[in-house]
Structure 1
Amino acid sequence: MNIPNLLTLARIVFIPLLVVLFYLPFSWSMLATGALFGLASITDWLDGYLARRWNQSTPFGAFLDPVADKLMVAVALALLIERYDASWLTLPALVIIGREIVISALREWMAEMGKRGTVAVSSIGKLKTTLQMIALLLLLGFAPGTSIATLGVVTLYAAALLTLWSMIQYLRAAWPHLSDSM
C-alpha cells in the first residue's frame, strides 16, 4: 500500500461523506459538499501524478483509480439529478454515466483480447474529466439558479459533448478489433 493507492481509497471513503453532507439541513452543507468533491477531484489528479513521479504504479491502483472516479462522478450526478429534478440536467448526467459504463466494458473486453492499449485515455478524455469535475464542483457547491451554478450547467454540457466525442474516438479505435471478434 503506497500513498497514491491511499489517496484513491480516500476518494472512495469520501463518497458516503459526500452524500451525508449533501443531505445535511444546514446553510453551509452545499459549500461543504462542493469543497469535499473538489478535494476528491484533486486527489484524483494527485494520485496519478505521484504514482508516475515516484514510480509507484501498481495493478491494484490501476484497477481501483478508475473505479473510484466513476463511483464518485456517478454518485455526484445522481445527487444533482435529485436536486434539480429537471430533464435538462438529467440528460447530460445520463450521457456521462452511460459513456462511463460503455467505455469501462470496452476496456475490459479489449484487455481480455490483449489490446487494452487500443482504448487508452486520450487528451480529449482528460479534458472531459477536467470539465466534468469543475461542473460537478460548481453544481454541488452552489444553489440552483445562481450564476455559479449556471456556469456549472454550461460546463456540464461541454463535458457531456466531450464525453460523446471521446466515446466515439474510443469506439473507432477499438472497432477493427471488435469487428474481428464478431
Structure 2
Amino acid sequence: MQWTVPNILTLIRLVAAPMVALVFLLLPRPFSDWIALILFLSASLTDYLDGVLARRWGQETKFGAMMDPIADKAMVVIALAVVLGLYGTVAFGGTILFNAMVLVPVVVILFREVFVSGLREFLGEVAGTLKVTRLAKWKTFVQMVAIGLMFSFGLFDHYFGRWTEGMDGTLIQGILDGAVPDEFGLSWLYMGLIGSSFGALALLWIAAVLTLVTGADYFLKARPHLRDGG
C-alpha cells in the first residue's frame, strides 16, 4: 500500500464506518448523536475528496480502487443499521411495532447494495467496464443527505423534548392550537420538528427509489455477461 493522501482518506472513512454505530454504546445521547453525525458527514466528505485528489495528483492506486467502494458500502450499510435501530420501531397501544416508513426504504437500499456487490464479485474484471452513471452518483449523494438528516432529526427531537420538558400537556396543545400566546416559539420548534422528520423520510424514500433504478440499470447492463456460453 502507498501512503498517499487519497488512500489515507479512504482508510479514515473505513475506520469511521463502525464508529458511527459504536459511539452509541460508548457515549450517552445526545453526545453519541453529535459524534455519529460528525463522523458520517466527515466520511461523506472524504468520499468526494479522495477521488478528486487521486485524479488531480495522479495518485490512483490498486489499493484505493479496491478499498474505496468497500469503505463507501461499509459507511452506508452501518449508518442505515443505526438509523433502523433508532427509528425502526414505534410504540402503538403499548405494543412495539416496526416502522414501515423507515424499514421499507432501508431494506430496499440494503438489498440493492448486497445484490450489486454480488454481481460485481461474480463478474470480476468485466464489472470494471460498467461505468458509474450520473444517476448513480446522485443516488449516493441523496443517500448521504438522507442519512445525515435522519441523524440530525434525532438531535432536533432530543432538544425539542428538553425544551418542552415539564410543561403541561394542555398548555403545549393550547400553544400549538393558537389559543395560548406562544412566548417561547414552541409552535415554530414543533413545525421544525415535523418538517425535519418528513424531509428526512422523504429523502430516504427518494434514495430508495434511485437505488432500485440504478440497481436495475446495472443488472440490465450486466445481463449479456451472465448468459451461459457468452
TM-score, length-normalised on structure 2? 0.73
Which residue does 1:97 correspond to in 2?
110
Is 1:126–2:137 an aligned residue pair? Answer: yes
Amino acid at match of 2:221: A
Q: Which runs of 5 or more residues in structure 2 are unaligned?
A: 90-98, 158-192
Q: Which has the higher helix share?
A: 1
Whether the aligned pair in 2 keeps the contact of 1:107 and 1:116 (CA below 8 Å) is yes
SS at match of 2:29: coil
Which residue does 2:147 correspond to in 1?
136
Change (3 A) 1:52 1:181: farther
TM-score, length-normalised on structure 1? 0.91
The offset of 1:146, in angstroms, is 4.4
Q: How many residues align?
A: 180
Which 4+ runs in 1 deviate beyond 6 A? none
1:36-93 deviations in Å (ceiling 9; x for gaps): 2111100011111111111111111111011111111111111111111212211111
Whether the aligned pair in 2 keeps the contact of 1:8 and 1:65 (CA below 8 Å) is yes
Which residue does 1:34 correspond to in 2?
37
Which residue does 1:173 correspond to in 2?
221
Which residue does 1:109 correspond to in 2?
122
Q: Name the Cα RMSD after superposition.
A: 1.8
Distance in 2 (CA, whole Å) between partners of 1:95 and 1:29 is 26
Which residue does 2:161 correspond to in 1?
none
Which residue does 1:78 correspond to in 2?
81
SS at match of 2:59: coil
Give the structure with higher Rg (CA). Answer: 2
Distance in 1 (CA, whole Å) between partners of 2:47 and 2:138 is 14
Whether the aligned pair in 2 keeps the contact of 1:4 and 1:48 (CA below 8 Å) is yes
Change (3 A) 1:2 1:118: same
Amino acid at match of 2:103: T
Q: Which runs of 5 or more residues in structure 1 are unaligned?
A: none
SS at match of 1:56: coil
Which residue does 1:52 correspond to in 2?
55
Identity of aligned residues (%): 41
